[in-house]
A and B are shown apart, each in its own frame.
Chain A
Amino acid sequence: MTKITVNGRAVEADPKQPLIAACHANQADVPTYCYHPGLTPVGSCRICQVEVQQGTGPARVVVACRTYPAEGMVVQTESEKAHEVRRECLEFLLKNHPLDCPICDKAGECDLQDFTYTEGQSAGRSHEPRRPLEKRKSLGDVIVLDEERCILCSRCVRFFEEVTKKPQLTVADLGSRSTIATFADRPLTGNYQGNIADLCPVGALTLKKFRFQARVWNLVKMASTCAECSRGCSTTVEVLRGGEVKRFRPRDNPAVNQWWLCDTGRFAFEHVNAGERLDGARTRESLAAVAELLAEDPAALLVASPFCTQEEGALILGFARSRGVQAYFLSPAPNGLKDALLHTGDPCPNRRGLTELGFAPLSPAEIGSPKTLVLFGERSAELCGTALARAGRVALFDCHAAALPNVAASIGVPTHVERSGTWINIDGQRGVLGAARPAPAGVRPLTSLVPELAALLRAQAVRP
């Protein structure tokens, strides 16, 4: 580590990381566009200019993303000169940038808005018409490009090159005619397109699925974990007042997903918004019905959804042990989405956690035709698929109903965005869930339902 001074405070800086990292780690909020910790620094936007002084030399203005800490370096990020050069830089960026804020999805989380607010000047001087370019260029199923808003930071270009290792975008033409483009207007492909909308510091690259959906300051945000595979990428769930999840976004996690999220996970919020939820109106009667089924069949097959948390799993396992039976979790086959980056291809978010607790995996085919089948947890009916119809009688704890004649009792449970808990990912990393919105009225989590079920059974056993 190298000893430097940032805004008068002595700090330790990693000499292998650009100065901007040391600034950000020490409350010096130097603005950035082209710099991103997950991409090679290019030093092109010039907004991260700071003043640096070494030894007896004069202070000079440098870009923090391409300068490396040296012993004794004195860094000023808030000097008059630093602010002056950033203000100049912003004026150049705003010269052609359209005044789209009122209709731009990025408003409220836009780095150009934010830095103009803190560092920019209040009036523009340009008499020139802004350059007219394509404003809604479809780049395929996921992304829309607004060429006029683009500030040519090239993060999107570098993302495909360096992270997915397959270039799909380029800067085309040069100078003031530069645009971001694919080859021959071909659509983007692959399962990581959504990341460029996160990376884009402005509203040039936006998600079709988020277009005009919400103003971001009306979204309630909760830290959570992706449910779509055993990678368990860290996410933020964003809910619009009224209850619809409008977005999943990746949350930085160096140990799991760095800064990225695959599109399968990113757009999975559509599942959790699906209507026709099992409600909590008849929970007590249904629980009693389940208890009766279980009392009649000591060999009832107890199967947890792979979405069950550690907390839920511990209770289900305890319950199974009290009945002297093995607890299982549903283990559907790999779904073919495995890639070299994040997706594991295993649709069980908590396979490792449940296995470590003591559950045994059970594929839908292995369910066979049990007399009684109890399914605990969200998407368990869906994951069973056709196997569900072969069971004798089914007690279902799930989010949605299964329209089958052999379902004797159904009890609503929260989805993974409506409850808290822990999953363990493929590498043993803990992923937390947080409730971003309340479950439908009366719907209680398994952590509450399973003990109540156990209590009901104990009460029945005591009765003569």
Chain B
Amino acid sequence: MALPERLVREFDELVKKYPEKRAALIPALHRCQEELGGWLAPQVLEDLSAYFQLEPVEVYGVASFYPMFRLRPAGKHVVSVCHNISCELRGATQLLEHVCKLTGAKPYGTSPDGKFTVWPVECQGACANAPMFDLDGVYHEDLTPAKAEKILGGVR
């Protein structure tokens, strides 16, 4: 197994930004997660370690440190609901409850149909427009349960 050629070429450009190749590891992990199924399988970590001339255990140590990297498969769509203080003060708990009901997923879980993973997250920097969630990398802010329903309902 090896990384797809298009990603290798991308990484070859990426590493030029840094005096040491390893600095491109976290951006590369992002790209792999985005392009290779929405998570980082052990094989992907091993392939990356070969590219960066590291031991697989080193790449695993890095990947497992960062909350944005998923080391287990997720649903087709990931809904990250902030449950930190500014969002909580404006109804994050109710929003999270509603999102779980709408999707059928438990917090930190995936819906039985595999469509949604609902993940409570820490402060996302949308505090003045709380509550919010991030759906597949896009912020949706100033949410109400009704707005959430509309947004999630429109997801294929």
Contacts and interface: CB of A to CB of B under 8 A. Distances in A.
A184 B57 CA distance: 8
A172 interface: yes
B64 A183 contact: no
Nearest to B61: A170
Nearest to A174: B65
Contacts of B65: 173-174
Interface in A137-170: 166-170
B56 interface: yes
Contacts of A171: 61
The dominant DSSP class at the B interface is: helix
B61 A184 contact: no
B42 A184 contact: yes
Interface in B52-78: 54-61, 64-65
Contact of A169 (B42, B57, B59): B57
A181 interface: yes
Contacts of A170: 57-58, 60-61, 64
Contact of B57 (A173, A174, A182): A182
Chain A: interface size category: 10 to 19
B60 A181 contact: yes
Contact of A172 (B42, B54, B55, B61): B61
B59 to A, nearest CB: 8
A403 B149 CA distance: 86
Contacts of A168: 55, 57
Most buried by B among A167, A168, A170: A170
B100 interface: no
A153 B54 CA distance: 22
Contact of B55 (A167, A173, A174, A181): A167
Nearest to B64: A172
A45 to B, nearest CB: 19
Interface string A179-203: 0011110000000000000000000
B45 interface: yes
A184 B49 CA distance: 13
A171 to B, nearest CB: 6
A168 B56 CA distance: 8
Contacts of B59: 183
B130 to A, nearest CB: 25
A449 B55 CA distance: 55
B36 to A, nearest CB: 17
Nearest to B59: A183
A308 to B, nearest CB: 43
Contacts of B56: 183-184
A435 B58 CA distance: 44
Contact of B64 (A166, A173, A182): A173
Contacts of A167: 54-55, 57-58
A164 to B, nearest CB: 11
Contacts of A174: 64-65
A291 B148 CA distance: 100
A158 to B, nearest CB: 12
Contacts of A173: 64-65
Contact of B45 (A166, A169, A182, A183): A183
B46 to A, nearest CB: 8
A169 B59 CA distance: 11
Interface string B21-63: 0000000000000000000001001100000001111111100
Nearest to B66: A174
Nearest to A172: B64
Contacts of B58: 167, 170
A374 B61 CA distance: 58
A169 B57 CA distance: 6
Nearest to B62: A170
Contacts of B54: 167
Interface string A448-459: 000000000000
Nearest to B45: A183
Nearest to B43: A184
Contact of B42 (A166, A181, A183): A183
B85 to A, nearest CB: 19
Contacts of A169: 57
Interface string A27-52: 00000000000000000000000000
Interface in A273-309: none
A174 B59 CA distance: 14
- Which of B57, B59, B60, B64 has the most C-beta atoms of chain A within 10 angstroms of its own C-beta? B57
27 contacts: A166-B55, A167-B54, A167-B55, A167-B57, A168-B55, A168-B57, A169-B57, A170-B57, A170-B58, A170-B60, A170-B61, A171-B61, A172-B60, A172-B61, A172-B64, A173-B64, A174-B64, A174-B65, A181-B57, A182-B57, A183-B46, A183-B56, A183-B57, A183-B59, A183-B60, A184-B46, A184-B60
Interface of A: 166-174, 181-184
Q: Which 3 residue pairs of A and B lie closest in terms of their CB atoms, listed nearest first?
A: A170-B61, A183-B57, A183-B56
Given A168-B57, A183-B56, A184-B56, 18 more contacts: A167-B54, A167-B55, A167-B57, A167-B58, A169-B57, A170-B60, A170-B61, A170-B64, A171-B61, A172-B61, A172-B64, A173-B65, A181-B60, A182-B57, A183-B42, A183-B45, A183-B55, A183-B59
